[in-house]
Amino acid sequence: MGRNVHKSNLTLLLLGAAAILLCIGTAVIGLRKVRNNQIADYKAYISEDFLQSDISFASDSSDTARVKLYRNEQYDQWEAYIPSDMQDDLRIYFTKFAGIRFGDDTVYHSGDAIPVWDSNTMMPATAINWDGSEQPLGAYILFLYAGGTNTLYLNTQDDALAAVNEDPSASVRATYVMKGADAGLISSGTLAIRLSNERSQAYPQKPYQLTLSSAAPLNGGKQQATCYLLPDYIEAAGQLRNKVAFDLADRLRIGGIDPADLVNVYENGDYLGLYLLASKPEDAGEAAEVEKVLGDDLSAGVDGDDSRDTDGQTVAENSSDTAANDGVAGAGSDHRSEIDFDALWQKLDKDSFERVYLLNEFLAADQSKFTVTGGGNGKTSADDKLAAGGLWDYILSCGFTSQGDYPAITRQTLWLADRESELLAAMSRDPSFMEDVRNLYLQELSPMLDEYLTNELPVLTYQTVSSGILSQYHYVSASQPDTSVWNMKRWLVDRKKFLDDYMANPSAYVRLNFQTSAGDLSYYAKKGETLNLNPVADEGEGTRIYMDDPAVTEKITGWVDENGDSLNPNEVVTDKMQGRTYSPVTEAIDAE
């Protein structure tokens, strides 16, 4: 019996031990399940919130010049928009784990310098936990690098710029730091930010007005109190057109021009995009200001004046005593019964208007753009005449207009003299004015363009392309470079080539006319050469800048002249083509 009791006790002991082991095993299994769930939750936490809130990039530990990661939901990736000033000493900062590894064996700790990889490099990231374990972050990081542009860092309280974006009347305070591409400090201080009405506020990248607490050299080395951030995330060439206009105006010594720079802008480390930072002229006004000041002097003969004959030529081209036949580009007939130019130049500073005319002509600006100083504005030229001065916003130029894009035709057009709708065109009717414009081009602008297009434009092109990619990734998830910048560079080079030759020998060209959505445009083709012109939609002609515009329902597929004959790009140009007018052939755009 005792043996049985002992056996029973042993059985109970074994059963108890088994129960304990079972409980322990269950607990371990349960713990493992909980831990796996925690790891899964931790991974999701890292991927969605942790990366954006904790990882940042800077050249030092300063909080005022730091860049955060951006989550691109469309491509399921994180993106790091690295500005120019950080690329010589790019460092990574974080606090919630011990280290990070980007696709290789190197572990980087907070504050360590990291490599500058090729732009568009996609790096897998692994976190090193404090206990030495590793945790993949569950997403790739795409590194994108700006090229050669200044950087404006705005620091607001609680990301206050979001409130400004919703309320055009709102204004918020911010501290700012402006750094050059070489990482040097340009200026810092405080400013007020509000939406600007200089561009549409409906698009994701917003336009802003910056009012500094005290004037500072925010860009270009000139003290400024108020300036504007002009966006164009859809088409990077828009920024380039504006920048080139400001540069050329400065070199032509047009008065009232402040520097304009391409800048990448961040708020509290979040990327806002590539902007043109510019100052608006104090007495800003469009060319119509001249008409307002001078009454009907300039408008006479402009509105309702039909100076074309039945061949589509201007009176100037048929007149034996016109400046055009004397080798002056685009000059019209005297028309002194309509405009008393002797009296006009007693009121206007002729040299300033010649320089503004030449700038608008070279860039084929959609509307004549300049400001007027003098009279009631309290500013005058040296001899107390009204002067043409500072310009503003040339985004619609170089063949890009509000009514359609015509880069091919406008490369070889006389933009002002052949367009009665342009106010400055009235001045082209003065032979002495146009003779001065011709000499100004040949003696000043053309030599300057040789240097500018060779040395400066390639740098600007690189800056615009590299930073334009950042803006497009950020706002439209673009995966391809914006080719409009390269097309813009080509337009400028071709435009100069044409004007160099035409200004020297206008009689070597015949004029063709194209009826476009932007009005009748002239095109000057050189005799004896192949026409080599095919301005159709597939080549970028006749399209809108914003291709999603619902008003665009047709595209240009060809052109026909008055006799119904199609434009032939291989036709050799002869005198008999003078005055030929082409109308577009269009087809509906596929709704898809």
Rounded to 5 degrees, φ, ψ at 241 are -60, -45
Q: What pTM did the predictor assign?
A: 0.80
Would you state the pLDDT for residue 582? 97
Listed as ranges, residues in the chain with pLDDT below 50 are 1-47, 284-287, 293, 298-337, 375-380, 545-547, 592
**In the beta sheet, which residues pair with residue 526?**
509
DSSP 197-215: SSS-SSSSSPPEEEEEEEE
d(CA 61, CA 92) in angstroms, rounded, equals 10
520, 514 in Cβ contact below 8 A?
Answer: yes
pLDDT digits (tens, 9 = 90+) for 524-559: 999 999 999 999 988 888 876 444 555 556 789 999
**Type of residue found at 355:** R
CA dist., res. 374 & res. 387, Å (int): 7
> Which candidate, 504, 474, 487, 503, places its Cα nearest to that of 541?
487
pLDDT of residue 393: 80
For residue 113, what pLDDT is reported? 94
User: Among 216, 272, 263, 232, which Cα is nearest to 85's?
Assistant: 263
Helix (H) or strand (E) holding 275: strand 270-278
